[in-house]
Amino acid sequence: MKILLVEPAYQNKYPPLGLMKISTFHKMRGDAVTFVKGKNPTYHAQKWDRIYITTLFSFYWKQTIETIKYYSNSVKKKDSIFIGGPMATIMADEIEAELGIKVSRGLLNVAGKLGLKNDHTIDNLIPDYSILDQIEYKYPVNDAYFLYATRGCVNKCPFCAVPTIEPEFVGYIPIKTRIEGIKSLYNEKTNLMLLDNNVLASKQFDTIIDEIKEAGFYKGAKFGKKLRYIDFNQGIDARLLTKEKMARLAEVAIRPLRIAFDNVKFKDIYSQKVRWASEAGITHLSNYILFNFEDTPEDLYERLKINIDLNEECGAKIFSFPMKYVPIKNRDRKFVGAHWTPKYLRGLQCILNATHGVVGPKRHFFETAFGKNYAEFKQILLMPENYILERSRYTDKARNWSEMLSKLSPEAKTNALDIISNQSWKKISDKEIAPGVKKLINLY
């Protein structure tokens, strides 16, 4: 058969493992496989026996649906186009209603999803790295083994898609043999990327650590002149992290150690685990900090500042990555949490644009970008966008803005902040603006 594998042209960090495994499956059958990213007129003009299109996040809905439509007439038979991946599983009904194309839900570990003999084995196959050479796009993370040591998660967090995509927790998947298989087929890789959602929940955690070390990713390991690293990329659950497990993590070339810090109520637990990491000799840390869910801007600021304090206390280097919550079925990123406003979110985005999405470990850097306290942080969020993005250039104008705001009467200030917070510039008229507000609003 003549097979086309398609990944929409969104920007993503990692290659599409599902398509890579489907490629292996079809090549084992003797089929010819082509991989493309985005819309390609040459491949669009051809007729394929089968087309597989992967999906990622729901907020890529428009781009993904357009890509599916683009290739929908490039198959010889209408029922020979297959849609899979995270968004497809989460929004299967919506996609089927929109396109009239049946979706392959979940993992390819159940017989019959693709209508081919042995299709239940696909999820356990070695990914075909060679297809990545067929496209110009270069994934930021590429020189690595991409594997799972576990599947699913024991938690059912309301903001997470994992319970839908991988509903069953599988506590152990051997990785050493897969690493050897990838090495024999596609050369040795420098690093190891484990995509597990909750590796600490595994009862065979010690076995997993042993296999990581046996595969050559022990602490201090090198590949050539390069230090190797292992990354549990989805982060680990601080609530399940014991001192014994921390000691075992310190035996492997983990860099960075990612500990989720999604809720400020876990600050004591989180802080304790960072201290344990430092005591175990793990000083390069990173975390995903969820915001725009049930938190407030003040909660976010406190979590970021806790990391700055811990850096100084422990001699660590913690890099924070604030991650905006969007409901798993939203078709764009415009969702505004109950305690946030459009301007707070946009202001934060302006700060993160300037820092390339990362909150570094240095106090001076943090206080310049986010403020020395929550009151300063809130004021920065409310400033006109240019004042946030180019702080040094607009220092005097930002000071003038602050003075104008402070001089407003309580009623006028409330009026101004309501307009600014909701970014409702086009909905206001002179009649709706309290005295003294118009001059301030004009700065936006």
CATH number at residue 188: 3.30.750.210
In the β-sheet with 230-232, what is the strand arrangement from edge to edge? 144-147, 191-194, 230-232
Of the residues 91, 124, 157, the one at which a domain ends: 124
3-state SS, residue 230: strand
Of the residues 362, 386, 410, the one at which a domain ends: 386
Domain assignment present for residue 157? The answer is yes
Domain assignment present for residue 132? The answer is no
| pLDDT mean over 338-360 | 95
| pLDDT mean over 45-63 | 97
Instruction: Between 49 and 433, name the one with better pLDDT.
Output: 49
Residue 163 CB coordination number (10 Å): 17
Residues 96 and 179 in one domain: no
pLDDT band at 376 (very low <50, low <70, confident <90, very high): very high
Q: Does 432 score more than 80 pLDDT?
A: no
Q: What is the pLDDT of residue 436?
A: 81
Q: What is the pLDDT of residue 423?
A: 86
Q: What is the pLDDT of residue 181?
A: 96
Using alpha carbons only, what angle is made at residue 264 by residues 262 and 265, rounded to the nearest 5 degrees? 110
Q: In this structure, what are the phi and psi dihedrals at residue 78, rounded to the nearest 5 degrees?
A: -60, -30
**Dihedral (Cα; 274, 279, 282, 284), 10-degree rounding:** 50
Domain assignment present for residue 419? The answer is yes
| pLDDT mean over 188-214 | 97
Q: Does 427 score more than 80 pLDDT?
A: no
- Can you tell me which residue has the tokens 């008229």? 429
pLDDT band at 354 (very low <50, low <70, confident <90, very high): confident
Element (DSSP H or E) covering residue 213: helix 205-214
Residues 110 and 147 in one domain: no
Residues 27 and 164 in one domain: no
Q: What is the pLDDT of residue 279?
A: 96
pLDDT band at 425 (very low <50, low <70, confident <90, very high): confident
Q: Does 135 score more than 70 pLDDT?
A: yes
Of the residues 102, 124, 146, the one at which a domain ends: 124
| pLDDT mean over 281-305 | 96
Q: What is the pLDDT of residue 370?
A: 96
Q: Does 164 score more than 70 pLDDT?
A: yes
Q: State the residue range of the domain holding 36.
A: 2-124
Q: Does 431 score more than 80 pLDDT?
A: no
Residues 315 and 340 in one domain: yes
Q: Does 284 score more than 90 pLDDT?
A: yes
Residues 382 and 410 in one domain: no
Residues 173 and 83 in one domain: no
Q: What is the Cα–Cα distance from 353 to 355, expressed in whole angstroms?
A: 5
Q: In this structure, what are the phi and psi dihedrals at residue 427, rounded to the nearest 5 degrees?
A: -95, -5
- Return the half-sphere exposure (C-beta side, CA atoms, 13 A cut-off) of residue 221: 22
Q: Does 265 score more than 90 pLDDT?
A: yes
| pLDDT mean over 109-118 | 96
Residues 303 and 323 in one domain: yes
pLDDT band at 150 (very low <50, low <70, confident <90, very high): very high
pLDDT above 70 coverage of the chain, percent: 99
| pLDDT mean over 306-330 | 95
Radius of gyration of the chain (CA): 25
pLDDT band at 93 (very low <50, low <70, confident <90, very high): very high
Give the CATH number for residue 107.
3.40.50.360
Q: What is the Cα–Cα distance from 267 to 261, expressed in whole angstroms?
A: 8
Domain assignment present for residue 391? The answer is no
Domain assignment present for residue 131? The answer is no
Question: Do 330 and 292 contact (CB within 8 A), yes or no?
Answer: no
Q: What is the Cα–Cα distance from 357 to 50, expressed in whole angstroms?
A: 39
Domain assignment present for residue 84? The answer is yes
Domain assignment present for residue 73? The answer is yes
Q: Residue 231 burial by CB count (10 A; 0-12/13-18/19+): exposed, middle or buried?
A: buried
The bridge status of strand 317-324 relative to strand 222-223 is unpaired
Residues 329 and 354 in one domain: yes
CA distances to 14, 36, 64, 346 from 7, rounded to whole Å, are: 12, 6, 9, 29
Residues 375 and 406 in one domain: no
Q: Please, which residues bridge with residue 54 across strands? A: 84
- Quote helix, strand, coil % in the chain, to nearest 5: 45, 15, 40
pLDDT band at 428 (very low <50, low <70, confident <90, very high): confident
Structure tokens at 383: 């400033």
**DSSP notation for 106-158:** S-S-STTSSSSTTGGGGGGSPP-GGGGGGSS---SS-SEEEE-SSBS-S---T
Q: What is the pLDDT of residue 433?
A: 80
The bridge status of strand 50-54 relative to strand 191-194 is unpaired
Instruction: Between 354 and 85, name the one with better pLDDT.
Output: 85
pLDDT band at 319 (very low <50, low <70, confident <90, very high): very high
Residue 400 CB coordination number (10 Å): 13
Q: What is the Cα–Cα distance from 388 to 376, expressed in whole angstroms?
A: 12
- Can you tell me which residue has the tokens 């998947």? 173
Q: What is the pLDDT of residue 262?
A: 92
Residues 237 and 381 in one domain: yes
Q: What is the Cα–Cα distance from 150 to 172, expressed in whole angstroms?
A: 5
Q: Does 208 score more than 90 pLDDT?
A: yes
Residues 163 and 243 in one domain: yes
Q: What is the pLDDT of residue 257?
A: 97
pLDDT band at 430 (very low <50, low <70, confident <90, very high): low
Q: Does 95 score more than 70 pLDDT?
A: yes
Q: What is the Cα–Cα distance from 395 to 46, expressed in whole angstroms?
A: 58
Q: What is the Cα–Cα distance from 53 to 68, expressed in whole angstroms?
A: 7
Provide the residue type at 25 as one letter: F
Count how many domains the chain has: 3
The 10s digit of each residue's pLDDT in 4-15 is 999 999 999 999
Average pLDDT, the chain: 95
Residues 144 and 290 in one domain: yes
